[in-house]
């Protein structure tokens, strides 16, 4: 492992900041809608997903199969986190949008770590727009 020299950590810091900022947008919506996961959870998920990819870059360099295994592990972990957000009360199921949003947020973190910023921005945009539109449609149905 190469020693930490100069400002070599700045690209990692930049990417972690981008992942955090994009996830914050989604977390803001979930917080505003008073959901079980919000401003604390979503940025942490994106930063962790991004961090797992960054932390293993030295191990996976030149080995796409190894990188794929790390990404698969992040995806699996996101499934467990998302599963924890889903609750069943009687015949009703709650939390599926939050679980799907958490999964999307993990994808944002992975995309940023792989420097696929365009993909991360599009996932964030689609997720935020979907949550915003659906919240307004549901409130119209009730009112």
Report, as an integer, the average pLDDT of 128-139: 86
Distance CA 30, CA 97 (A): 9
Distance CA 57, CA 114 (A): 10
In the chain, helix, strand, coil percent, each to 5? 75, 5, 20
CA dist 135 → 29, 102, 132 (Å): 9, 17, 5
Distance CA 28, CA 121 (A): 16
Q: Is the pLDDT of residue 32 over 70?
A: yes
Q: H-helix or E-strand containing 10?
A: helix 10-32
Confidence category of residue 3, pLDDT binned at 50, 70, 90:
low
Report, as an integer, the average pLDDT of 110-122: 98
- So what's the pLDDT on residue 56? 95
- So what's the pLDDT on residue 5? 66
Which ranges in 36-116 belong to alpha helices (H)? 41-55, 57-60, 64-85, 96-113
Tens of pLDDT, residue by residue over 34-93, are 887 889 999 999 999 999 999 999 999 999 999 999 999 999 999 888 888 888 788 888
Distance CA 113, CA 134 (A): 29
Q: Taking each helix axis from N to C terminus, what angle separates 117-142 and 10-32, rounded to the nearest 10 degrees?
A: 10
């Amino acid at each position: 492992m190469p020693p930490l020299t100069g400002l070599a950590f700045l690209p990692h810091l930049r990417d972690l900041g981008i992942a955090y900022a994009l996830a914050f947008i989604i977390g803001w919506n979930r917080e505003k809608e008073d959901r079980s996961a919000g401003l604390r959870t979503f940025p942490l998920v994106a930063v962790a997903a991004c961090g797992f990819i960054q932390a293993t870059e030295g191990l996976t360099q030149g080995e796409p199969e190894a990188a794929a295994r790390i990404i698969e592990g992040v995806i699996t972990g996101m499934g467990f986190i998302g599963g924890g957000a889903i609750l069943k009360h009687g015949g009703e199921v709650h939390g599926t949008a939050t679980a799907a949003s958490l999964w999307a947020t993990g994808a944002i973190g992975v995309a940023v770590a792989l420097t696929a910023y365009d993909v991360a921005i599009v996932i964030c945009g689609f997720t935020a727009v979907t949550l915003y539109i659906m919240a307004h449609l549901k409130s119209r149905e009730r009112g």
